[in-house]
Amino acid sequence: MLWLHLQATLYRTSSLEAEIRQATKDTLKEINGVGMHCLCGKLVAGDCRDCLQREISIRLQNEGYNCAICKSKWKRSEEIPSGEHTFLEVVGKLSSKKGEVRVVIELNFRAEFEMAKANQEYNQLISRLPEVYVGKAERLKALIKILCSAAKKCMKEKKMHLGPWRKHKYMQSKWIATCERTTPAPLPGGFSARPAKPRASMLTYDLLETLPVLHCTAVKVL
């Protein structure tokens, strides 16, 4: 079953992924608890994705991670429309004997695959996804294949057309295609000196619940 394959892919993790996942979790909790004023003059919330990504990237850099904002951009083809997408990426090494590894941080992962007219089976599958994805690009590639296959099956059963922006090639272009890396500099203002009032946003969630892999014991990869 697709959900078993999905769960198995989500639960597999490496020591590097677990480390970056924990650092991302701590950073998000701090931003959500303290509050931050961005260049837009608003408190960080779900509607200020660019400034949030910038702040997370800077904080992970301060922790010693090679973190940057990535912008992917692809041209229109016969199969899919043109588009662009931004996300965070950390480049690191699993061990001294292995090459560099790309770890993708997508802050709005579950929402990227939600469909308004999906059936119950598809919605249940999507509900198993973490809101924030932190993992290797290779693992993300496998997840995209599973989820796009499920979306295609769902639309076929409902006898509906699958939008080109839901197709495997389009979704894969967001994170797997060649992207432009930008290392941001600290913004003026930064964190607010006063704690912000709690606000509903994409940050107000428990990563321990939405990211099941956080419960896994880190395994050293040789």
Q: Summarize the confidence of residues 86-97 as an average pLDDT.
A: 86
Please state the domain count of the chain. Answer: 1
| Mean pLDDT comparison of 3-7, 152-156, 188-192, 200-204, highest-scoring range | 152-156
pLDDT on residue 43: 55
Task: Examine residue 208 and state whether it is found in any structural domain, yes or no.
Answer: no
Q: What are the tokens at 124? A: 């249940």
Over residues 32-89, the pLDDT tens digits come to: 887 666 666 655 444 588 889 999 999 999 999 999 999 999 999 988 999 999 999 9
Task: Examine residue 210 and state whether it is found in any structural domain, yes or no.
Answer: no
Whole-number Å distance between alpha carbons of 103 and 151? 25
Task: Examine residue 58 and state whether it is found in any structural domain, yes or no.
Answer: yes
Task: Examine residue 218 and state whether it is found in any structural domain, yes or no.
Answer: no
Collapsing DSSP to helix, strand or coil, 66 comes out as strand
Task: Examine residue 217 and state whether it is found in any structural domain, yes or no.
Answer: no
Collapsing DSSP to helix, strand or coil, 48 comes out as coil
Task: Examine residue 97 and state whether it is found in any structural domain, yes or no.
Answer: yes
Residues spanned by the domain of 121: 16-185
Task: Examine residue 200 and state whether it is found in any structural domain, yes or no.
Answer: no
Task: Examine residue 59 and state whether it is found in any structural domain, yes or no.
Answer: yes
pTM: 0.79
Q: Summarize the confidence of residues 96-106 as an average pLDDT.
A: 87
Helix (H) or strand (E) holding 86: strand 83-93
Q: Do the beta carbons of residue 176 and residue 140 sit within 8 Å?
A: yes
